Structures are given as C-alpha cells and as structure tokens.
C-alpha cells in the first residue's frame, strides 16, 4: 500500500487530454514539492515534472503539473501513442523522513 | 554523461543478506551536489525508496526497511552499496541505483541504473 494514492489506470484517445491524480497528506504533498516520473515500457523512470509544476528542458509543454492542498495532478494534453507509460508521483514525507511514491498509474492510449 | 550500473547476485536465499553495488562513471561520487540512492520495484508494482547516502557517509533510510538496510559508499572506487538482511520473498524486486541531484529548491532522481532483478528463493 503506497503512501501516495494514484488510480491504477487511465486511458484516452490520441489528441485527448487526460489527468492523473495523486493524493497524499499534510506531511508529504501538503508541505513539500511534488515530482512526477514517467516510466516507458522496459525503461527506467524519467523526470517529467519537478517542484509541482516545473518541466525540465526537453519535456514537451503537453505535460503539466499542479498541486492543491494535499493532492496533485498531472495533465497530458494532445495525447500521443508514445505517452503510453506508467506515471508515478513522489514527494518527501516529513513524518517518515523519507521519500514516498505513488503506486503508479498505467496510461493506455486507445 | 553520468552512468550507473548495478551488480550483484540475482538470486538470494530466504533469511540471507542481499548485497548490491552501484558503480558510477562519468562523474565523481564525491561531488557535493548529490545523494546516491537505492530504489526498488517489485514485479508489476510501484516504486519504493530504500534510502540514500551522501559521499561523506551520512545516510537516510526508509523507516519501514531501516532495521534491515545498510547503505555505504567507497569514494576511492566511485561506488556505493546496499545490504538488505533477513530477506524474504517480499524483497523480490528490480533494484535500481540512482543519483539524486539536490539543491535548496529540489531533489531530483536524475540518473538511474538499468536495474537488476533480485529474486529471493530457496
């Protein structure tokens, strides 16, 4: 059971906008930055979003992050087949004094 | 380009100690801007942070694993290591080593090893 809660799956058709939620608590999302990682099939996780809503260079602006209270969301607009991957949220947890990840959301592009 | 590579036995017997080493190339493990981390991913499941170490030897562990985990660093070999004791089948996972780039504004897991599958079985 992960400390951060994500839906196990999400789906959309090409061109659509999808959102993936991440729910936590006051000790993690509520008081620290949220990060999002993308894991393409058979590869290692790659940073998509840092500090709640910042994109590293090279990440398309189709990807955006937001945070409100103890929840965060990743939005993907203009969905493409190559976006099919697992997506993980992560945050530092002050109570645990450690990093916590969500259980991951498998995105399927129909 | 920084590269990380895990090495160690792929099969560990129950109750024994899992030992892995991560060799870092393309950069110095003694750089002050980074932590060096272990993360694992059970088959078909999500990511779990195990812990990380600073080059000076300061460590931070996942509380749920803390009693069984030791992470150490060897700056002369540009390596860091993981030991997990008293393993059970629940410890079967792909184990990744990763670099954590930190500042006052962020901590980013920016480079990852390819991962190594560790199976706990008799």
- Reported as a single tens digit per residue, the pLDDT across A35-54 is 999 999 989 999 999 999 99
User: For residues A42 and A87, what is the distance between their CA atoms, to the nearest angstrom?
Assistant: 13
Distances (CA, A) of B118 to A78, A98, B14, B40: 38, 23, 12, 10
Using a CB–CB cutoff of 8 Å, tell me whether B53 touches chain A: no
Per-residue pLDDT band for B109 (boundaries 50, 70, 90) equals very high
Q: Considering only alpha carbons, which residue of chain B is nearest residue A41?
A: B44
pLDDT in tens, B53-103: 999 999 999 999 999 999 999 999 999 999 999 999 999 999 999 999 998
Write out chain B residues lying below 8 Å of A45, CB-based: 47, 109, 112
Phi, psi of B57 (to 5 degrees): 110, -5
Q: How confident is the model at residue A99 (pLDDT cuts 50, 70, 90)?
A: very high
Whether A98 and chain B come into contact, CB under 8 Å, resolves to yes
Whether B62 sits inside 8 A of A96 (CB atoms) is yes
């Amino acid at each position: 059971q992960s400390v951060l809660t994500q839906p196990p799956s999400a789906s959309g058709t090409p061109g659509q906008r999808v959102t993936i939620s991440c729910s936590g608590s006051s000790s993690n999302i509520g008081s620290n930055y949220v990060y999002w990682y993308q894991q393409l099939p058979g590869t290692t996780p790659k940073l998509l979003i840092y500090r709640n809503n910042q994109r590293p260079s090279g990440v398309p602006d189709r990807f955006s992050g937001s945070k409100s209270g103890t929840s965060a969301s990743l939005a993907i607009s203009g969905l493409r087949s190559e976006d099919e991957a697992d997506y993980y949220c992560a945050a530092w947890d002050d109570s645990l004094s450690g990093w916590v990840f969500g259980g991951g959301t498998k995105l399927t592009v129909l | 380009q920084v590269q990380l590579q895990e090495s160690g036995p792929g099969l560990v017997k129950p109750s024994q100690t899992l030992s892995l080493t991560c060799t870092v190339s393309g950069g110095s493990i003694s750089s002050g801007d980074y932590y060096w981390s272990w993360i694992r991913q059970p088959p078909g499941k999500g990511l779990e942070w195990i812990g990380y170490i600073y080059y000076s030897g300061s460590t931070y562990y996942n509380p749920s694993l803390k009693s069984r985990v030791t992470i150490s660093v060897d700056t002369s070999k540009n390596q860091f290591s993981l030991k997990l004791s008293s393993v059970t089948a629940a410890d079967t996972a792909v184990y990744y080593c990763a670099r954590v780039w930190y500042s006052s504004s962020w901590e980013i897991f920016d480079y990852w090893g390819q991962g190594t599958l560790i199976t706990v079985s008799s």
